[in-house]
Amino acid sequence: MNRLADPTPTPQPAAQHGNRRTVLLGVAFCLMAAGWAGFHAMAPGPQADTAQNEAPQSYSSIPLPLIAPEQAAKALADSGYSAQEQADILAAVKRRDLRLLAMPLYDAAGTGGTVNVICGPWQRTVPLTTTPTTVILPIAKVGSVDIVGLSSHGVTGINGGVITSFGPQVLPPLSNGQHLHALVSAQ
């Protein structure tokens, strides 16, 4: 009698050895990649010695009250700008090249501090107190303002706020030399 061949094939030992090698190589590669990624994730990045090297913070649009053109001369007289700056700004307002916005700044945390407010070529240094100090901003239709922290009196930094057309709004804390870039619009 003839014996029939078994219909179920049996795996060959050489094929098992190749599959095992592929799996082990894959696991080794995954472990090496995970170790490399973990090492780079834990490694300290470049650190700045001062806050001046930090990128400016961005802030969304701040709606501010518009000063009527007929009130511009009075607002500029109390603004702290030099006589020449006042004359230049007033002439631009009369030509309708610029509009004036009132930006009341205050100390939101009661820790004090000083900021520099930069709007185009004009800048003002403002010591923050709990009583708002109004800064007059000459802008076109929509403008931007940079608020730079100059000095803080507390460990929490400079915690300023602005009174917008919709009420008081606390700004992000600033450290010395740190910039806050914000868009301002007339309301």
61 residue type, one letter: S
Residue 103 domain-assigned (yes or no): yes
- With beta carbons less than 8 A apart as the criterion, state whether 130 and 163 touch: no
For 11, 49, 183, the CA distances from 159, given in Å and listed in that order, are 73, 22, 19
Residue 153 domain-assigned (yes or no): yes
Residue 47 domain-assigned (yes or no): no
CA–CA dist 172, 79 (Å, integer) = 25
Residue 151 domain-assigned (yes or no): yes
Residue 135 is part of which domain span? 56-186
Q: How many domains does the chain have?
A: 1
- Residues 57-86 have pLDDT tens digits of 766 788 899 999 999 999 999 888 899 999
Q: What is the pTM of this model?
A: 0.66
- Residues 130-170 have pLDDT tens digits of 999 999 999 987 788 999 999 877 677 888 999 998 899 99
CA–CA dist 74, 186 (Å, integer) = 19
